């Protein structure tokens, strides 16, 4: 059960048309009819990820950074829970970037994210990221146009620096439609236990949907690079989103091909039954 | 299926006799015979933890810090994988403390751990911790006796500070026997894929087993407090260890009783069907 991920990958320098990109695509798979094989496939990915993760940790040379961006209520937290929640927490760290603090604002916009870049052997997950500084900041005009313009280049240089030290950078936009978001907001309002996730300001942002989509398109165009590609993953069908992202993680880690390091002792000197 | 956890709790000021404490205890439960009910119980704990964790995160007032200490190969990594791996990574962070760096040594021994104390809404897991500074450091005499003596008090004051800010501190010693450790070392040597976890220096430490147990007993006696108790969990039967620690997490979080915060808007102003 292979998903064609290439379809979701943004070519460097090519501006995607988000409106024309499916947000509910499942590549012909069907939640009900294929439920068993989806479950099986996810279980297989979990096993492969566990092995790859252990190798990454043991090797201690490379890192993986996954950036999650999306419109509000598109499922970032749910992706963290369901996809990254199936990984071993020993070398996975999730960082949720909220409104910057004064201290963070006293620095360049990459300062706070750089501090949380995953070290060798680790998988870092950014739930929101430095991309907010070319999304919400751009939409609201909180920085001037020239400054925003320069940020795309700063981002590319920053990500190239990470790549140069052995960090694979994988950027995922969880793609949903405006109607879908409305449905999710309504769901939050219907359930008192989800009220904490709702903020009236979310509706103000929602009113700027088109501007956000524009800002996303430009960011994707300008910062999808060979070393740090963007994927626009259809995310309205959550099981499909989980499946697609799991496959992406497995194939990325397989490409990175982490290996158990040679022991720093001669095994011949330590026959298991002879130690005491 | 309730485990009597009180049995594993160390009374403040009382020196435990680790030799007399069972390391393979299962309180009469049987891995094979009770396998189904153990699985069921773990699944129930997972669900309850998911709910408690979400409340903790939403409430954003309290934190939980779990400290894991043990002899080498006793199963710290396995506990992280199997117990904390079943939690939502959005607000769980695991910190593995290794040999201190020069920069860390340039500070007091609590400096590096204090930096990783979990913030409000988070669960922090310390895989090794500041307790190394009264264990390995004491056994090897890397600090003088008076300095070690003062550290127990520093630790208690530090943990009281965390508690005062709303952090529950739960300290767990994974208890195994010397024979069990030997078996685990042999297992690592038998499997080339586990060689990276073995270090000949582990055998030097193993030769100091009694001194380590002594250091543990003193640390437990001096630092098990009402606010930050120590539990000595029998850990040779891994399924039992997982069950016991899961139960401990659930009961601790239930005592903390995190609650969804009141919404910062009036729900009457936002009827779900009226928003757009």
Antiparallel, parallel or unpaired: β A123-127 and A167-175: unpaired
Out of A58, A189, A196, closest to residue B272 by CB: A189
Chain B interface includes A199 (CB < 8 A)? yes
pLDDT per residue as tens digits for the range B8-29: 999 999 999 999 999 999 999 9
pLDDT per residue as tens digits for the range A15-46: 999 999 999 999 999 888 888 899 999 999 99
B55: closest CA of chain A, how far (Å)? 9
For A118, phi and psi rounded to 5 degrees? -70, 135
Judge whether residue B31 has pLDDT over 90.
no
Judge whether residue A101 has pLDDT over 90.
yes
Dihedral angle at the C-alpha atoms of A157, A161, A162, A168, nearest 10 degrees?
A: 70
How confident is residue B1, by pLDDT bands cut at 50, 70 and 90? Answer: confident
One DSSP character per residue, A126-183 reads EES-GGGGGTHHHHTT-S-HHHHHHHHHHHHHHHHHHHHTTEEEEEEEEE--HHHHHH
Residue B150: count of CB within 10 angstroms of its CB: 11
For residues B167 and B64, the answer to whether their CB atoms sit within 8 Å is: yes
pLDDT recorded at residue B266: 95
3 state DSSP class of B118: coil
pLDDT recorded at residue B62: 98
Ordered by start, the domain boundaries in chain A are 5-25+35-177+211-255
Out of A77, A197, A267, closest to residue B189 by CB: A267
3 state DSSP class of A112: helix
Mean predicted confidence (pLDDT) in A219-244: 97
Q: What would the two tokens of residue A275 be?
A: 């130690």
pLDDT recorded at residue B262: 95
pLDDT per residue as tens digits for the range B94-105: 999 999 999 999
Mean predicted confidence (pLDDT) in B167-193: 97
Does the beta-carbon distance from A80 to B88 stay under 8 Å? Answer: yes
Chain A interface includes B87 (CB < 8 A)? yes
pLDDT per residue as tens digits for the range A260-275: 999 999 999 999 999 9
pLDDT recorded at residue A92: 97
B139 to each of B36, B135, B145, how far by Cα in Å?
A: 43, 6, 11
pLDDT recorded at residue B40: 95
pLDDT recorded at residue A132: 98
pLDDT recorded at residue B273: 94
Mean predicted confidence (pLDDT) in B215-220: 98
Mean predicted confidence (pLDDT) in B114-128: 98
ipTM: 0.91
Judge whether residue B33 has pLDDT over 90.
no
Judge whether residue B32 has pLDDT over 90.
no
Mean predicted confidence (pLDDT) in B226-245: 97
B265 contacts in A (CB within 8 Å)?
198-200
pLDDT recorded at residue A34: 87
Mean predicted confidence (pLDDT) in A222-238: 97
Percent share of chain B, pLDDT over 90: 97
B residues 127-186 closer than 8 Å to A (CB) = 127, 182, 185-186
Q: How far apart are CA A25 and CA A19, in angstroms?
A: 13
Query: What CATH fold (topology level) applies to the domain A5-25+35-177+211-255?
Result: Rossmann fold (3.40.50)
Tell which phi-psi region holds residue B128, choosing left (phi > 0), alpha (psi between -120 and 50) or beta. left
Residue A176: count of CB within 10 angstroms of its CB: 23
Tell which phi-psi region holds residue A117, choosing left (phi > 0), alpha (psi between -120 and 50) or beta. beta
Mean pLDDT of chain A: 97
State which residue of chain A sits closest to B264, comparing Cα positions.
Answer: A199
pLDDT recorded at residue A206: 98
């Amino acid at each position: 059960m292979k998903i064609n991920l290439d379809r979701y990958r943004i070519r460097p320098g090519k501006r995607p048309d988000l409106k024309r990109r499916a947000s509910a695509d499942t590549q012909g798979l069907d939640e009900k009819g294929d439920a068993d094989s989806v479950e099986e496939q996810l279980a297989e990915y979990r096993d492969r990820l566990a092995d790859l993760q252990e190798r990454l940790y043991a090797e201690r040379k490379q890192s993986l950074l996954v950036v999650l961006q999306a419109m509000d209520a598109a499922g970032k937290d749910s992706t963290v829970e369901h996809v990254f929640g199936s990984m071993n927490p020993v070398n996975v760290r999730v960082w949720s970037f909220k409104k910057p603090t004064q201290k963070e604002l006293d620095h360049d916009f990459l300062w706070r994210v750089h501090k949380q870049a995953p070290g060798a052997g680790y998988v870092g997950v950014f739930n929101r990221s430095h991309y907010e500084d070319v999304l919400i900041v751009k939409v609201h005009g909180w920085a001037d146009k020239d400054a925003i313009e320069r940020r795309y280049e700063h981002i590319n240089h920053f990500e190239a620096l990470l790549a140069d030290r052995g960090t694979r950078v994988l950027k995922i936009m969880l793609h949903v439609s405006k109607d879908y978001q409305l449905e999710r907001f309504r769901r939050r309002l219907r359930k008192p236990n989800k009220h904490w996730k709702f903020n009236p300001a979310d509706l103000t942002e929602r009113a700027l949907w088109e501007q956000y989509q524009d800002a996303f398109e430009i960011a994707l165009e300008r910062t999808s690079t060979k070393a740090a590609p963007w994927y626009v993953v259809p995310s309205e069908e959550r099981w499909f989103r989980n499946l697609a992202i799991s496959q992406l993680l497995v194939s990325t880690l397989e490409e990175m091909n982490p290996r158990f390091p040679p022991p720093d002792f001669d095994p011949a000197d330590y026959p298991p039954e002879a130690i005491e």
